[in-house]
Structure 1
Amino acid sequence: MALTTQRSTIINVDAQGAPLRPAIVWLDQRRTAGVKPVKGLWGLLFALSGMSQTVAYLQAEAETNWLQRYQPEILQATHKILYLSGYLTHRFTGRFADSVGCQVGYMPFDYKALTWAKSWDWKWRAVPIDPRMLVELIPPAAQLGEITAGAAAATGIPKGLPLIAAAADKACEVIGSGALEPHIGCLSYGTTATINTTQKRYVEMIPLIPPYPAAVPGAYSLELQVYRGYWMVSWFKQEFAHEERRLAQSHGVEPETLFDHLVAEAEPGAKGLMLQPYWSPGLKVPGPEAKGAIIGFGDVHTRAYLYRAILEGLAYALREGMERTIRRSGTPITELRVSGGGSQSNAAMQLTADIFGLPTTRPHTYETSGLGAAMDAAVGLGLHPNFESAVREMSHQGDVFEPNPETRDLYDGLFHRVYKRMYKRLKPLYEEIKQITGYPGDGDDVTT
């Protein structure tokens, strides 16, 4: 057995593993303004390298810094700080342990060495917690423990069954999609949309923003993300797809299955309707001032054009991420795999192939995260001798979407001459909007 979970969800527990407060989930936007900056030699180095603002952002995002300010009694009572994967591991095995592949968040983890940071590392100053609160880390495909009698009684899983370390959901999606080699890009069309590649070499896409642990021992998952990715389809459904929701209810289907007809009603390029999908701010790319933008409206544009512009805007943003990945890693990306709920749309798959100009494949299942975890289990139990064998035998590619040369040229023009210029030109206006309205705020008003 192996498990994969959402990333960056924090649970403080006592010595028996009981939660001391509700989990702080990955979508939580709380931030802690005014955290004391890292001082000493590290602080000087950050100042000289222009990284002080990045470190301050990471400090503000760290859940433990928020707890220290608003709920210090919880932190004082904490025996272990767990990610969701670590919490479930304890529930299943009784051990305070977790997979290296699940370490994604604001903890003193050394992403290059793939272990907890050394005592001299700056992360301990940025996120000052007791090292005894951290759990034992186990590499992917190694054994975390065995299912206890209590867990067996609660779940029906056989007592004594080995629990094999896997990785976080996105990392498992990557290998589950068959993207084991660095020339294969894996697009995840989920709530957060990402582009990932698997690398044996440590490469930071943005300085001080590390690659995450891969679901393969000793490897890294290079990732760039659009935080509000295919969540935007849900936003469109809620705000603009009332007719599709009504029809879906009467036919007993999900509304999203009816959206491809909207894409068909609007030609590629959406008659110049361009969408920048920054419905949530970022750190560097985009920055904390970022907002979403739609430009190019005319009287011909309908909600069908808006929906196409959403899908195209997400693909443009991920193509920009691909170009950064290629520049930073030095490895060309020659093919794409797409997983997640959005990959079920033929229209989304075709426009992805056209915008990237690459053959784009949909694996035989869009739930590739669970498949990737199964690969870790298979290798860990010796059912496959290595990950190359597991990926070859367990991941099967489905439909392949080839780029249409004519449409690809249209998208190339819009991408290079319009989309890539939008953020730089709009950034000063975003900063003015934030200064005038106070939105987006710093999230420091959440105290529960």
Structure 2
Amino acid sequence: MNEKYLIGVDLGSQSAKVAIFDLDGNVVSEGKERLRPTNLPAPGKVEHPDDDLWDSVAAASREAMTQFTGHPESIAGIGLCTIRFCRALLKEDGTLAAPVMSWMDERVSQPYEHTQPDVKYVTTSSGYITHRFTGEFRDTAANYQGMWPIDTDTWDWSESDRIIDEFKIPREMLFTLQNPGTVLGRVTKSAAEVTGIPENIPVVATANDKAVEALGSGTLSENTALVSLGTYIAGMIHGKTNPKNVNHFWTNFAAMPYEYLYESNGIRRGMWTVSWFKELLGKELVKKADQLGMSPEEYLDMEAQENVPAGSDGLMTVLDWLAPPDQPFKKGMMIGFDGRHTRAHIYRSILEAIALTMKTHVEAMCKELDADLKDIVITGGGSNGDLMMQIFADVFGLPAKRNVINGAASLGASINAAVGLELYSSYEEAIEHMVKIRDTFHPESDTHEFYDQLNKEVFQQITASTDGVLKRSYDLFRSWDSKS
């Protein structure tokens, strides 16, 4: 049993990551390929250029297979996870009829418009990558949230002609749906040639990227929240039912059939904001970090931990760097500057804003669910920093756990494959063997009390005071831009 391996594919917003795991959840080889910058051909349109999604998966797969020292025949299967809310238009042969629409593209939040006669299929990013691997027109049901005619109770296409007409996608243009943990097909010869993955290996359905990340983090308890620190930051709790008409969260498919993931409101361009700030500091930061043998993030962490107290000496950040479609006037802001403030203050203020914002969102979700949290798990690249982990523990007033594998989507994809291929008898058994906690950060009571007061009395009130100004400035600048 220990001689078998699983491939976890994690195609995200910024890169494709392919990891090969043993059955104890250890990474034995991995590859990563950054996605190319998205194209912006017109206002509201955001597209992945050319065949970038597949090309990045293929490149990351080749790197992982090149590093793999085991026997290729010992690879039992592939778990395939891709970013959600994308839309791919395919020709009859399965090739792209148009560039894949990003989750940031306004068209993916609207019914499909059939304007190209050569479009035969409308699918997700996972459906498209499944076809590239296997040649099959099949997809996981658990990646169809948004503008799709799916019945979230049955996990299948709606039987209502009215709903099919509402979303404007005829049934014959939709892929066949399967549940997580089922075999979608097998790696074709052509896919094997470009990825380096052996031909005929089964490709197993997973779910949307957030649900697979939750599975890979091991958060199956209704008393544990997962906070995923990605380009989009979300808070999630696992559940068994499919509640409707809720106010402070939405119900997503889980990576386990007929179970659900309750997802709070989140932060658009969340960890992107940290990257944005780091890039603003430029070569000087990189040079100083290199001299100490650190990454730029580690250097900023060190500066902030040594020199900046909780609360960043009054500097507060509002993380609206990407406005929601229904509130286009929203803007990111930093408020409370004085002469004490340095780049370390700005950095810590951004981290605190992430934790405070997510505390508000998760707290509202838990109140509506009547859930009593015992701890939180933090995943994603942002959880690598001890400062971020301690801030989350202090803001939430709960133990904050970080796993050995904190980029958990590839591990979650492998868990789906392990259970689907009957290498483990259940998801609980697979998690017990494959998910390991690295460390736990405990809250400091005085700091938690301060953050709690700051959040309720000040931080949550900022936008009520600034929205009016931003609305007026939005109209003014829009008018000026139209004249320029």
Q: Verify the 8 A CA contact 1:204 1:328 in the aligned structure 2.
A: no
Letter in 2 for 1:227: R
Q: TM-score, normalised by structure 1?
A: 0.84
Q: Structure 1, residues 357-412: CA drift from partner, whole Å, max 9, x if none? A: 11000001122110101110111011111111111221111110000111111101
Residues in 1 aligned to 2:437 and 2:413: alpha-carbon distance in whole angstroms: 18
Q: Verify the 8 A CA contact 1:278 1:291 in the aligned structure 2.
A: yes
**Cα 1:219–1:320 shift into 2, 3 Å:** same
Partner residue, 2:317: 275
The unaligned stretches of length 5 or more in structure 1 are 33-59, 442-448
Structure 1 residue 21 displacement after superposition: 1.5
Letter in 2 for 1:165: A
Partner residue, 2:460: 420
Residues in 2 aligned to 1:239 and 1:139: alpha-carbon distance in whole angstroms: 44
**Cα 1:156–1:300 shift into 2, 3 Å:** closer
Q: Structure 1, residues 405-431: CA drift from partner, whole Å, max 9, x if none? A: 111111011011011222333333332
Structure 1 residue 267 displacement after superposition: 0.6
Residues in 1 aligned to 2:222 and 2:359: alpha-carbon distance in whole angstroms: 16
Letter in 2 for 1:230: M
Asked if 1:218 is matched to 2:258, the reply is yes
Residues in 2 aligned to 1:353 and 1:269: alpha-carbon distance in whole angstroms: 14
Residues in 2 aligned to 1:241 and 1:204: alpha-carbon distance in whole angstroms: 47
- Any idea what SS the aligned residue of 1:137 has? strand
Partner residue, 1:289: 329
Structure 1 residue 206 displacement after superposition: 5.2
Letter in 2 for 1:110: D
Aligned match for 1:61, one of 101, 109, 113: 109
Identity rate of aligned residues, in percent? Answer: 31
Q: Structure 1, residues 50-83: CA drift from partner, whole Å, max 9, x if none? A: xxxxxxxxxx833734xx5xxx12xx32111121
Letter in 1 for 2:452: D
Structure 1 residue 260 displacement after superposition: 0.5
Letter in 2 for 1:181: S
- Any idea what SS the aligned residue of 2:334 has? strand
Partner residue, 1:159: 199
Partner residue, 2:18: none
Letter in 2 for 1:61: S
Residues in 2 aligned to 1:437 and 1:300: alpha-carbon distance in whole angstroms: 32
Letter in 1 for 2:432: R
Partner residue, 2:121: 80
Q: Verify the 8 A CA contact 2:164 2:170 in the aligned structure 1.
A: no
Q: Verify the 8 A CA contact 1:205 1:324 in the aligned structure 2.
A: no
Q: Which structure 2 residues correspond to residues 112-131 of structure 1 after superposition, within 5 A? A: 112-120=153-161, 122=163, 124-125=165-166, 127-131=167-171
Q: Verify the 8 A CA contact 2:248 2:361 in the aligned structure 1.
A: no
Residues in 2 aligned to 1:242 and 1:310: alpha-carbon distance in whole angstroms: 21
Q: Verify the 8 A CA contact 1:363 1:398 in the aligned structure 2.
A: yes
Letter in 1 for 2:110: A
Q: Structure 1, residues 227-258: CA drift from partner, whole Å, max 9, x if none? A: 11110111101113542222345677542232
**Cα 1:307–1:63 shift into 2, 3 Å:** farther
Residues in 2 aligned to 1:361 and 1:426: alpha-carbon distance in whole angstroms: 35
Q: Verify the 8 A CA contact 1:203 1:328 in the aligned structure 2.
A: no
Greater shift after overlay, 159-168 or 106-115? 106-115
Q: Verify the 8 A CA contact 1:262 1:308 in the aligned structure 2.
A: no
Aligned match for 2:340, one of 300, 321, 340: 300
Q: Which structure 2 residues correspond to residues 310-389 of structure 1 after superposition, within 5 A? A: 310-389=350-429
Residues in 2 aligned to 1:189 and 1:116: alpha-carbon distance in whole angstroms: 31
Structure 1 residue 320 displacement after superposition: 1.0
Q: Structure 1, residues 189-215: CA drift from partner, whole Å, max 9, x if none? A: 111111111111123585597422111
**Cα 1:209–1:342 shift into 2, 3 Å:** closer
Q: Verify the 8 A CA contact 1:180 1:391 in the aligned structure 2.
A: no
Letter in 1 for 2:95: A
Q: Verify the 8 A CA contact 1:213 1:220 in the aligned structure 2.
A: yes
Residues in 1 aligned to 2:414 and 2:118: alpha-carbon distance in whole angstroms: 36
**Cα 1:414–1:112 shift into 2, 3 Å:** farther
Q: Structure 1, residues 147-198: CA drift from partner, whole Å, max 9, x if none? A: 2233233333233222111122211111111111121100111111111111
**Cα 1:248–1:208 shift into 2, 3 Å:** closer
**Cα 1:431–1:122 shift into 2, 3 Å:** farther
Q: Which one has the bigger strand percentage?
A: 2
The unaligned stretches of length 5 or more in structure 2 are 1-77
Aligned length: 402
Partner residue, 1:14: 91
Partner residue, 2:278: 237
Residues in 1 aligned to 2:325 and 2:151: alpha-carbon distance in whole angstroms: 20
Residues in 2 aligned to 1:217 and 1:336: alpha-carbon distance in whole angstroms: 24
Residues in 2 aligned to 1:208 and 1:124: alpha-carbon distance in whole angstroms: 29
Q: Which structure has the higher relative contact order (CA within 8 Å, separation 6+)?
A: 1
Q: Structure 1, residues 244-283: CA drift from partner, whole Å, max 9, x if none? A: 2223456775422322123212110111211111111225
Residues in 2 aligned to 1:120 and 1:149: alpha-carbon distance in whole angstroms: 39
Letter in 1 for 2:412: G
